Amino acid sequence: MVSIKQQGRSDVPFDALYHKHHSWLRRWLSAKLGCSHTAADLAHDTYLRILARGTTPAPEQSRRFLTQVAKGLVVDHYRRRRIETAYLETLSLLPETHSPSPEEQALTIEALVEIDTLLHELPDKPRRAFLMCRLDGQSYQDIADALKVSVSSVEKYIARALLACHRAISESQP
């Protein structure tokens, strides 16, 4: 039996949380997603997140806590699906001879999801400034005008975004 700490209380058996709420969580996710297979995967991931945190909610807060964790996973699922769809649509425009292997496609999608996650952790203006600079090729002055800030602020936003990218690369390397 696996026990993990309950916030501010005594140990709570993890398996009790799982057995009491797993079926309910799967049904809830299935209703949200319209797919029982994806719901099963996300229910599993919900409990993995709880194990990774090392704490369980108070019994009276269990469903609210599970719902909160699961909602975050649903958002991640839809974000990943959106990224994957956009990437595959872009690939469909390439001649078949230039199409990457399925393994390369999977690795690219993983990298795109990581980049998306990284960018969404940034505040709005640094994220927008970075994308306008790197993807749209806009000058700092054009970005400043669009964001209604000074060029100095744009420089700070870009530096902040680049620092976040650098940290992410450093953390991913052994």
In this prediction, residue 148 carries a pLDDT of: 97
- Scan for tokens 């230039």, then name that residue: 98
In this prediction, residue 58 carries a pLDDT of: 81
In this prediction, residue 118 carries a pLDDT of: 87
Higher-confidence position of 45 and 115? 45
Contact between 109 and 82 under an 8 Å Cβ cutoff? The reply is no
Partners of residue 11 on adjacent β-strands: 5
- Scan for tokens 């699961």, then name that residue: 70
Read off the pLDDT of each residue in 54-83 and give the average, rounded to a whole number. 91
pTM of the model: 0.72
Angle CA(15)–CA(42)–CA(3) in degrees, nearest 5?
20
Query: Binning pLDDT at 50, 70 and 90, where does residue 117 land?
Result: confident
